[in-house]
Structure 1
Amino acid sequence: MSSPSVPPPPLTVVQPGTGDEGFLGSIGVAFKLWGSDTGGAVSVVEHPFPVGALVPPHLHTREDEYSIVTEGEIGFRSGDREVVLGSGGYITKPRGELHTMWNAGSTPARMIEIISPAGFEHCFREIAEMTAAGQPDPAAVAELAHRYGLEFGQPDWLPGVIERYGLTPPPGPE
């Protein structure tokens, strides 16, 4: 028996150093693979972390994230677990769990973020557009977060992380 012919997914090629880039308030974003490139399975972005950068604690209600550190040292806190990873380190950040990331070293850092399922890369694009236009309106950020199932938190452990690593508190909801 032969099965109906299903066309292969499109071939997507992203050369090193290419892809749209933006700034998310405390870290950068470089778009590599969109959901439209993967049939919605995953999206891939890279995040450069300046020294002192801290991502606001947040959780995703719709997707899981998988991070790979490619340069420097990046600290991660997810739930009650905390770790600092150097180049080549991997971590999973499951949906529904409050997490944050920061540059844990004295040099710029970078990581690859794989998001499953795809879709949240569009939130990054919208935040980058807001940031490029100036300081985003908190009400607009709250509406955007709601649309993408993103929730922010202010955990009691955050001041200790900021102090231990000499971080710049992130912009955003207090």
Structure 2
Amino acid sequence: MTEVRMLGPGEGEITSDPEGTRSDRYLIDGALTGGGFALVEQVLAPRVLAAPVHLHTLEDEYSFVLEGRLGVLLGDEEVFADAGTLVFKPRGQWHTFWNAGDGTLRILEMIAPGGIEQLFRKLAEPGGEYDPETLPALAAQFGCDVDFEATMPVVERHQLIF
């Protein structure tokens, strides 16, 4: 028998950073889909960078903007997306994203196959911040690579919080 899964507004596991600049609400975990898919609602405060420049080797990401303005670096190209827009971030492409507006940014992050959402959880644990000394090894456990050197020009160019 198939189990019906419904989550209302504000339901589901929610993690956030100590500064209150980012929260993740886990709507569908990869474990529920046999690893095929995960869905996470991400909320970023104004001018917050979500992550250092990074790439995934195992999954593709799709960001659907629910509210606010999303800025995305995809390779060497920067794009901006408003509510109702979908941005595809394929595996193997260096990227990062941020809240490019003055209000709250809410996106649905669709991940296929699922699994990288477990890294999001680890980063939300105490001591799991984006430390250049420890993050590369942690990210590698999930098939990811990070580039802090490429991140700082994005932070400076857009005056972001990171």
Q: Where on the TM-score scale, by shorter chain, does this alignment land: which range?
A: 0.7 to 0.9
1:75 aligns to 2:71 (yes or no): yes
Instruction: State the percentage of identical aligned residues.
Output: 38
Distance in 1 between residues matched to 2:73 and 2:58, nearest whole Å: 19
| Corresponding position of 2:39 | 44
1:164, distance to aligned residue in structure 2 (A): 4.0
For the 8 Å contact 2:38–2:114, the answer to whether it is kept is: yes
Higher strand share: 2
| Corresponding position of 1:150 | 144
RMSD of equivalent CA atoms: 2.3
| Corresponding position of 1:3 | none
Match of 1:20 among 13, 27, 43: 13
3-state SS, counterpart of residue 16 of structure 1: coil
Which consecutive residues of structure 2, in runs of 5 or more, have no partner in the other structure? none
Which consecutive residues of structure 1, in runs of 5 or more, have no partner in the other structure? 1-6
Structure 1 residues 34, 109: CA separation in 2 closer, same or farther (over 3 Å shift)?
A: same
| Corresponding position of 1:58 | 54
3-state SS, counterpart of residue 144 of structure 1: helix
Structure 1 residues 22, 76: CA separation in 2 closer, same or farther (over 3 Å shift)?
A: same
1:24-68 per-residue CA deviation (whole Å, 9 max, x = no partner) reads 576321111011222321000011111120121111111100110
Distance in 1 between residues matched to 2:131 and 2:150, nearest whole Å: 26
Larger Rg: 1
| Corresponding position of 1:121 | 117
Size of the alignment, in residue pairs? 159
